[in-house]
Amino acid sequence: MAVMNYKGGVGKTTITANLGAVAASRGFRVLLIDLDPQTNLTFSFFSVDEWQDRLKDNYTIRQWYDAEVPGRDSSLADLVTTPERVNKVLKNTDGKLDLISSHLGLIDIDLELAARLGGSTTLDGSKRKFLDLHSCLRHALEDSRFSGYDLTLIDCAPNFGLVTKTAIAASEKILVPAKADYLSTLGLDYLAGNCDTLVQQFNAYVDHKRDNGNYRPIEPSILGVVFTMVQIYSQRVTAAQHSYIEQVRLNSQVPVLNSTVRNSSHFGDSGENGVPAMLRAAGKDDVVREFDQLADEVLGALALSPGGSR
Ligand SMILES: Nc1ncnc2c1ncn2[C@@H]1O[C@H](COP(=O)(O)OP(=O)(O)OP(=O)(O)O)[C@@H](O)[C@H]1O
Ligand SMILES: [Mg+2]
């Protein structure tokens, strides 16, 4: 599942890290993939020193995307790492949490890949290039070494660049964190429209006869919008935010999840600990309860159970 929204700072990375960690604490084997050159998800689990010393040169997604067609020269499964601190907290569960790290240099590669889309001189050639590039992550995740994961969450950058599109093409579902304000809610139908356009274009290019079944149509759909950083006053969502949420629920084509995540100081020091806030906070806290509900709702909608892949 991809976690995406082109709006920045709406809680994508926080949701990815904490949802992954909560699922792992329930016994799920979770793989997180950081596709954002800002590298925030990576630094939610590894310190900058750990990343510099152990990951930067040989274990980031940058090197994998950096090929004529990503993955042609290297294997995605070789980039999987197991962050120690969070897995120590998970040691009494059946779950585990692995991560493929990102790299600031991914930003240049994203642009180069997009430029390559225009490189073919024939229509067939450009269609094939389009399909090759857009389906690279999907193909890579079909590697049998990924079959042991119950849940894969892909944290996207706040854009709709080629790397983000590879995440959408690789996903069955898309989770869209959003803030409950005017501009954020305006963008949701636009986002859904762009996802639809990508799916239609990809599937229109898939030609079973010509490609011997090498490419299959993609069917990602939006699981829902989860409103984050919601302001609570007297145990209720403030009136203004409530009205934005209801507007989206009634007027937008994108589904809205019942769960919301409140604004909470627990998320302040996301990067420093290596263990997502929801595994550190006390069980009775309101935001922990909300996150549990979100995990119930998302995992239920995905029809996943821990150990499903085993
Ligand atoms: N529910 C919340 N309550 C309070 N602060 C939050 C909450 N969720 C996220 N934050 C904080 O808001 C900031 C942005 O969150 P986050 O990095 O998850 O957003 P993002 O959508 O991934 O951003 P970007 O688009 O830059 O990747 C971070 O400092 C994070 O700690
Ligand atoms: Mg982020």
38 Cβ closer than 6 Å to some ligand 1 atom = yes
The string of DSSP letters for 193-230 reads HHHHHHHHHHHHH--HHHHTT-S-----EEEEEEEEEE
Q: Which residue, among 179, 287, 282, has the nearest Cα to 226 in the 3D structure?
A: 179
Query: Position 215: which residue type?
Result: Y
Region 52-75: what's the mean pLDDT? 92
Supply the mean pLDDT for the chain.
93
Q: Is the dihedral of CA 290, 292, 298, 303 positive or negative?
A: negative
Report the CATH fold assignment for 2-301.
Answer: Rossmann fold (3.40.50)
Q: Is 11 in the pocket of ligand 1 (CB under 6 A)?
A: yes
- pLDDT tens by residue, 109-148: 999 988 888 777 787 888 889 999 999 999 999 999 999 9
What digits encode the pLDDT tens for the residues 191-229?
999 999 999 999 999 976 677 677 899 999 999 999 999
Residue 88: the pLDDT is 96
Residue 27 in contact with ligand 1 by CB distance below 6 A = no
Q: Give dist(CA 278, CA 213) in Å, integer.
A: 43
**Distance (Å, whole) CA 276 – CA 261:** 15
Each residue's pLDDT tens digit, 8-53: 999 999 999 999 999 999 999 999 999 999 999 999 999 999 999 9
User: What are the beta bridge partners of residue 232?
Assistant: 237
Residues 63-84 have a mean pLDDT of 92
Domain residue spans in the chain?
A: 2-301
Please name the residue whose Cα sits nearest to atom 15 of ligand 1.
11
Cα 42 to ligand 2 centroid, rounded to whole Å: 10
Report phi then psi at 265, rounded to 5: -70, -15
Q: How far apart are CA 22 and CA 278, in angstroms?
A: 7
**283 Rama class: left (phi>0) / alpha (psi -120 to 50) / beta:** alpha
